[in-house]
Amino acid sequence: MKVLLDTDLASAFAKVERLELLVRLFAGIDLGIAFEVYKELLVPLEHDYHFPEAVFAVCETIYPHPEDMVTVQRRLVDMKALGRGELETITICQARGWFYAAIDQKALTYARSLGVTTFTLRVILRLLWMRHILSQEEVRTLIQALWEKNKLVIVDLEEIFHA
């Protein structure tokens, strides 16, 4: 069993140097990125940004099977709102029964429509708090860091902390 991370989620946690939180949260489940996500993360490296190295250190790169590539190609035509990395990741998760973790709501909605179990950023933040990996204040600090480095806005923040 694996959790495949989308580019935005992996990048966001890498930029704030907190990828270890995902490793702890999903302890016992391997983290991975699809090959297309790997290729997307190579671009910042070409511009001397080093955060992708942290992603590569904790995530296995997963290559699609040939039949997955056929599905991805078809979906690229049908789902123009999503990129190749998202579609490849979702396709692999669907084919192998793995989990998908992402920020993009369109990608998450599409994955759910295909029966893929998803983890949103809000769910991840809530689980970090509920599993006592972070205190409420530490989650708030993480959210602030995600805003400062990635401009990620968490709507209805207080809902994360409702029991």
Give all domains of the chain, ordered by start, each with its CATH number.
2-122 (3.40.50.1010)
pLDDT of 12 strictly over 80: yes
The answer to whether 110 touches 88, Cβ cutoff 8 Å, is no
Query: What stretches of 26-83 show up as alpha helix (H) in DSSP?
Result: 35-46, 51-58, 66-78
pLDDT at res. 74: 83
pLDDT at res. 163: 66
Q: Which of 18, 22, 55 is nearest to 144 (CA)?
A: 18
**CA–CA separation, 86 and 104 (whole Å):** 9
**Model's pTM, two decimal places?**
0.93
- Residue owning tokens 């991975």: 32
When the pLDDT of each residue in the chain is averaged and rounded to a whole number, the result is: 94
Q: pLDDT > 70: what percent of the chain?
A: 99
Residue 115, sorted as left (phi over 0), alpha (psi -120 to 50) or beta, turns out to be: left
User: How does pLDDT run across 13-53, given as a tens digit for each residue?
Assistant: 999 999 999 999 999 999 999 999 999 999 999 999 999 99
User: How does pLDDT run across 143-161, given as a tens digit for each residue?
Assistant: 999 999 988 888 787 889 9
